[in-house]
Amino acid sequence: MTCTVAAQPFDYRFDPAHTALLIIDMQRDFVEPGGFGASLGNDVSLLQAIIPTVQRVLLAWRALGGLVVHTREAHLPDLSDCPPAKRERGQPSLRIGDVGPMGRVLIRGEPGHAIVPALAPVEGEIVIDKPGKGAFYATGLHETLQELGITHLIVMGVTTEVCVQTSMREANDRGYECLLVEDGTDSYFPEFKAATLAMIRAQGAIVGWTAPSALLLQALPAPTP
């Protein structure tokens, strides 16, 4: 079955049987006060605002029986997978591995590592822990998607210009056709989000397509009873 989204810069076509919904880093550490994002001085309310939209698309995709992949950015407790350059970057109030209000910042298994309750993975969904910004770096995600016959990715999550864009570029280099849901992603910097959407779809979808969630939802088939 082929679905068509009236996306930019032109129609995006996909078969749900060969498409995964990829939700990037919707973790407490990025969207709640007291986490990694806030420790860098960011206003996390901008990111919280997309949760209802991401949930709407997630529920529709689940109703179709489509494959869902969630990612979480985090490091091992001994920080052996965290390059010192990443930990030492900038002047944060808390560094990766420091103890904050949601446990150790950006560390696997800590409260801040969890995906927000409204989007929590359910049985059968894939959860990828990634040490980097890209979902394909040091995760085995490509091999998993290949085994499942996935050729297309519908992408949501945070932040648009960091982990979302990096993951889409990695996916593009590996041959996946990607659609970014415009209101299912956000940045701490609205101008960076706008620039990222523009650069993804520029030059004839050089990285991928973008579309608002309403147009994606309109394109989905009715779930079979």
Amino acid at 162: V
Q: Which is nearer to ligand C5J, 58 or 158 (CB)?
A: 158
Instruction: Build a one-symbol-per-residue string for 183-202: x at contacts with ligand C5J by CB under 6 A, - elsewhere.
Output: --------------------
Strand 67-73 with 19-24, pairing = parallel
Instruction: Build a one-symbol-per-residue string for 133-152: x at contacts with ligand C5J by CB under 6 A, - elsewhere.
Output: x-------------------
Catalytic hit among 25, 29, 183, 186? 25
Ranges assigned E (strand) in 115-192: 126-130, 152-158, 177-186
Tell me whether residue 3 is one of the annotated catalytic residues.
no
Q: Which is nearer to ligand C5J, 113 or 133 (CB)?
A: 133
Amino acid at 72: R
Catalytic hit among 82, 133, 163, 193? 163
Q: Is 163 near ligand C5J (CB under 6 A)?
A: yes
Amino acid at 85: A
Upper half-sphere CA count for residue 128 (Cβ side, 13 Å): 26
> Which range touches ligand C5J (CB under 6 A), out of 11-19, 135-143, 155-163, 190-198?
155-163
Tell me whether residue 178 is one of the annotated catalytic residues.
no
The secondary structure of 30-67 as a DSSP string is HHSTTSHHHHTT--THHHHTTHHHHHHHHHHHHHHT-E
Give me the residues that bind ligand C5J (CB under 6 A), please.
Answer: 25, 30, 73, 133, 158-159, 162-163
Annotated catalytic residues are 25, 130, 163
